[in-house]
Structure 1
Amino acid sequence: MMMNFGYLLWVAPAFLLMMWAQFRIRSAYGRGMEVPASLSGAAAAQHILDSAGLDNVAIEMTEGVMSDHYDPRHKVLRLSRDVYSSRTATAVGIAAHEAGHALQDATNYAPMTIRNLAVPAAQFGSGFGGILLMLGFIMASKPLLIVGIVVFSGVVFFQLVNLPVEIDASNRAKRVLTQLGIVDADGAGAVRSVLNAAAWTYVAGALESVLTLLYYVSLVTGGSRREE
């Protein structure tokens, strides 16, 4: 089966990094919610969009926790309830990060364009690629593993190209929040902590996909043995 001991050893660094990143983001999120900001998350995002002349991007509230995202296809910035309405450093930091994606979209930021094009390959690779890899592992079939590796590579490519997109959006957020006076020095520090912690989750996700790919490559090349 896919989740064997050898696989767990390969991806252990990524799992440990993700656990550490999740701890950091929960801690930073909570601290940032106690630091006041001059605007709510929705108002901060609107201010950023207006300052950039982006009057074609809508802002909507969405349910869920940390469900915030920018939809480039429909030009909609969706913010979770707490982020949308809270006047805190955490709220404006996350809202500004998502607004940063809208700014990337408006300026045709190349890594974001590539990432958007890679979405179908990543979706296909995470589903069908995983099935092929698992079957190849169970059946000890190198042809299946090779095909699975090729398909799963779409996931790895997406994760890698996603890193500069997320980091750039966070850098834009930190910069514009200070430039527009939405946060003071304390608020800027809290925003930095939240966004830096979030960035490590993307690093951990990319590392896990790379290590998973390398694990299956090692099976094909004979670098490791299947666990019985």
Structure 2
Amino acid sequence: MFGGYYSSMIVLIPAMIFTMIVQARIKRAFSTYTDIENSKGITGFEAARTMLDANGLQQVSINVLNGDALTNYYDPRSNTVNLSSEIYSQDSVASVCIACHEVGHAIQHATSYAPVKMRNALVPVTNFAQNTSWPLILLGIVLSSTTEYGNMFFNIGIFCFVAVVLFHLVTLPVELNASSRALQQMKALNLVDDSDYAGSKRVLSAAAMTYVAALATAAAALIRVLLIRGNRD
């Protein structure tokens, strides 16, 4: 039984290689455009504040975070845009487009964008599923030879993986839409020139691929579980 568990790991290798390539790409794009000053000389904070105010979101505050430069997020619970200190204070091409991407999420929240509502609803389910899927599967494998409950635990583990894949599937259009909103409004609000826009598109395209990689990894994990299931039957 455990032979199938270990041999099935081979399906994860392509997803792992793809993820490493994507991570290298986003780091390269960020490194390139974080060293290029945007044409307007504005910081990530200023760009985010301009975009928020232009969309009637004056009540959304912008917080500065300590930590990794790529740790930026919109928090729907506190209705805040949270930017790393580097993105918040620098006037690079990367800082502006990443800050505006997070504002894109704030606009999604304000306009009740359907995929966002679906993703938020899946968050608690996904947190549970990620923490319990493999323990349930391993418990199912161990118990399957001694009790009928083994198959039940194993099948619940499979459903947990399906929930994780569904979360990543819903997350992808949410992130793509936030980037699309950012690029459109950066141009409409005159926050970029043509050169800035091209660089911003490269940064956000590279960032979007990280969500494709996450989906690919989750799907590969589900395939692996189904292969284990097949080896047990």
The answer to whether TM tops 0.5 is: yes
Match of 1:135 in 2: 139
TM-score (norm 1): 0.92
CA separation in 2, counterparts of 1:79 and 1:172? 18
Residue in structure 1 matching 2:44, options 13, 36, 41: 41
Compared CA separation, residues 3 and 225, structure 1 to 2 (3 A)? closer
Residue in structure 1 matching 2:107, options 85, 103, 109: 103
Aligned amino acid, residue 22 of structure 1:
Q
SS at match of 2:59: coil
Aligned amino acid, residue 52 of structure 1:
N
The one-character-per-residue Cα deviations of 1:122-161 (angstroms, maximum 9, x if unpaired) are 1000001232123334556433221111123221111110
Given that residues 137 and 158 in structure 2 are in contact (C-alpha distance below 8 angstroms), is that contact kept between their aligned partners in structure 1? yes
Give the RMSD, CA atoms, in angstroms.
2.0
Which 5+ residue runs of structure 1 have no aligned equivalent?
A: none
TM-score (norm 2): 0.90
Given that residues 45 and 95 in structure 1 are in contact (C-alpha distance below 8 angstroms), is that contact kept between their aligned partners in structure 2? yes
More off after superposition, 142-151 vs 130-139: 130-139
1:52 aligns with 2:55: yes
1:2 shift after superposition: 11
CA separation in 2, counterparts of 1:6 and 1:45? 48
CA separation in 2, counterparts of 1:12 and 1:138? 26
SS at match of 2:225: helix
Q: Which has the larger radius of gyration?
A: 2
CA separation in 2, counterparts of 1:15 and 1:139? 30
More off after superposition, 143-152 vs 20-29: 143-152
Which 5+ residue runs of structure 2 have no aligned equivalent?
A: 145-149
CA separation in 2, counterparts of 1:13 and 1:139? 31
Given that residues 98 and 169 in structure 1 are in contact (C-alpha distance below 8 angstroms), is that contact kept between their aligned partners in structure 2? yes
Percent of residue pairs bearing the same amino acid type: 35
CA separation in 1, counterparts of 2:141 and 2:14? 22
Aligned amino acid, residue 125 of structure 1:
A
The count of aligned residue pairs is 224
Question: What aligned pairs does 1:85-124 form with structure 2 within 5 A after superposition?
Answer: 85-124=89-128
Match of 1:169 in 2: 178
Match of 1:155 in 2: 164
CA separation in 1, counterparts of 2:4 and 2:86? 36
SS at match of 1:79: strand
